A and B are shown apart, each in its own frame.
Chain A
Amino acid sequence: MDNRRFRFHWKTNTFAWLLLLPSLLFLFLFTFYPIAKTVKLSLFQADLATLVPVFIGLDNYTNLIGDEVFWKVMSNNLWFAIGTVPTSIILAILMAIYCNKAMRGTSMVRISFFYPTMIPMIAVANVWLFIYTPQYGLLSRLMKSIGQGDINWLGSPQYVMWAMVIMVVWKEAGYFMIFFLAGLQNIPHDLYESAQVDGVGRWTVFRKITFPLLMPTTLFVSIVALTNSFKLVDHIMIMTKGGPNNASNLLLYYIYESAFSFWDQGMASTLTVVMIGVLLLFATLNFFGLDKKIHYR
Chain B
Amino acid sequence: MRLISNMSNKTILASLCLMLSITACSNNTAAPEDQSSATVSPSTAVNETNKDEKVELTFYYPIAVGGPLTATVEGMAQEFTKQNPNITIKPVYTGSYADTAVKTQAGVQSKNPPDVAVLQSTELFSLLDMDAIIPLDDYIAEEGGDSYLSDFYPAFLSNSQTGGKTYSIPFQRSTIVLYYNKDLFQAAGLDPEKAPQTWDEMRDYAKKLTKDGTWGLEIPVSGYAYWMLQTFALQNGNNLMSEDGKKVMFNTPENIEGLQYWSDLAKKDKVVPEGVTEWGTVPSDFLEGKTAMMYHTTGNLSNVKKNAKFNFGVSFLPKNKSYGSPTGGGNMYIFKDIDKKKQDAAWKFVQFMTETERAAQWSMDTGYVAVKKSAYETERMKKYTTDFPAALVARDQLEYAAAELSTHNNGKVIKALSDPIQAVLTGSMTPEEALNKAQEEADKALAPFNK
Contact = CB atoms under 8 A, between A and B. Distances in A.
B19 A154 contact: no
Nearest to A249: B419
A51 B129 contact: yes
Nearest to A37: B31
A53 B32 contact: yes
Given A259-B27, A261-B415, A52 B448 contact: no
A31 B27 contact: no
B64 to A, nearest CB: 15
A141 to B, nearest CB: 11
B319 to A, nearest CB: 28
A31 B20 contact: yes
Given A52-B36, A257-B411, A34 B8 contact: no
Contacts of A102: none
Contacts of B412: 261-262, 264
A46 B25 CA distance: 18
Contacts of B223: 241
Nearest to A228: B19
Contacts of B277: 152, 155
Nearest to B2: A296
Contacts of A216: 4-5, 8
B419 A51 contact: no
Interface residues of B, number: 65
A263 B131 contact: no
A77 interface: no
A34 B25 contact: yes
Contacts of B55: none
A242 to B, nearest CB: 9
A283 interface: yes
A152 B20 CA distance: 36
A263 B419 contact: no
Nearest to A217: B8
A155 B426 contact: yes
Contact of B28 (A37, A157, A227, A287): A37
Contacts of B98: 260-261
Contacts of B4: 216, 296-297
Contact of A223 (B12, B37, B276, B422): B12
A91 to B, nearest CB: 21
Interface in A261-285: 261-265, 268-269, 272, 275-276, 279, 283
Interface of B: 1-2, 4-5, 8-9, 11-12, 15-17, 19-28, 30-32, 35-37, 98, 101-102, 105, 125-126, 129-131, 213, 221-223, 273-278, 281, 285, 288, 290, 408-409, 411-412, 415, 418-420, 422-423, 425-426, 428, 448-449
Interface of A: 27, 30-31, 34-35, 37-38, 41, 46-53, 69, 129, 133-136, 152, 154-157, 216-217, 219-220, 223-224, 227, 231, 240-241, 243-247, 252, 255-257, 259-265, 268-269, 272, 275-276, 279, 283, 286-287, 291, 294, 296-297
14 contacts: A31-B17, A34-B21, A35-B20, A35-B24, A46-B32, A217-B8, A241-B222, A243-B419, A244-B276, A245-B426, A252-B26, A262-B412, A279-B19, A279-B20
